[in-house]
Amino acid sequence: MEPTSDQHTALSIKKKLKSHWKAILIVAVAVVISVTIAIVVTTIQNDKEMVRGIDVSAYQGEIDWEKIANQGYKFAYIKATEGTTHIDKQFKTNWDGAKDAGLYRGAYFFLTLNKSGAAQAAHFLKTVPSDEKALPAVIDFELYGDYLKKLPSQEKINSILKPAIRKIKAKTGKNPIIYTNYNTYNQYMKSSYQGIAIWICDLSNTSPKLSGGHQWVFWQHTQRGFIDGIHNGDQQFVDLDIYNGNYKQFKKFVKQ
């Protein structure tokens, strides 16, 4: 049955009011979520017992490392390479700047899935200066692009990731840490790669929990940190990280 004109007008007004209140509710929920995240991040940042750090790349532009250190951050992971040819344009500046400011520093490379893992590791090792005091190397392993639509096989991942791990351990004497997210970890790592420490991206604001017996050594708890000293790059935000332990344990970890 078709509504009358009066009924149609009433329905129209009702729909507009419903839409209006729905929009207000969406905004209110977004504000609550943003405030909650801000409170959690601020609480973490102000907890003196936590060993806090950042990870950066050229997207953050030129960084004032003295300001970073003065805010209590203890370590920084710096992007060095990607694939077999790319070198992050800010790597050397960030590598030197972090050390000069007194931060513990480490380097990472983004693992691409269309190149040899051993070749990517060799490119990384050639780019990063030797430093016995540096944090362990990190392989950033996460799916991207079309690989999210059609997941690679376990064999495909093993054929790239395992040679990269072996190459780095042979050169540095230490296993690299694997940075990843839960989806990639659960798909490819939780039942294998024993003995490899995990740096987990977990934005849920609760302490990470990994199945499969792995331990997380670093926790990236936000990708939208806003701190003094990072303000002039393409990306105004920065990833904030926490070490799984106190400062005494962290210093022991560095010396391993």
Domain positions in the chain: 1-46, 50-255
Alpha-carbon distance of 175 to 75, in angstroms, equals 19
- Give residue 182's pLDDT: 95
Give residue-wise pLDDT tens across range 139-162.
999 999 999 999 999 999 999 999
Q: Give me the CATH code for the 50-255 domain, please.
A: 3.20.20.80
Measured at the CA of 172, the angle between CA 127 and CA 79, to 5 degrees, comes to 40
User: φ and ψ at 204, to 5 degrees?
Assistant: -85, -5
Q: How many CB atoms lie within 10 A of CB 198?
A: 22
Q: What is the DSSP letter of 142?
A: -
- Give residue 205's pLDDT: 78
Give residue-wise pLDDT tens across range 179-193.
999 999 999 999 999
Which segments of the chain have a pLDDT < 70?
1-48
User: φ and ψ at 53, to 5 degrees?
Assistant: -150, 180
Structure tokens at 211: 């199945």
- Give residue 42's pLDDT: 42
Report the DSSP pairing between strands 238-243 and 52-56. antiparallel
Alpha-carbon distance of 120 to 184, in angstroms, equals 19
Radius of gyration of the chain (CA): 23
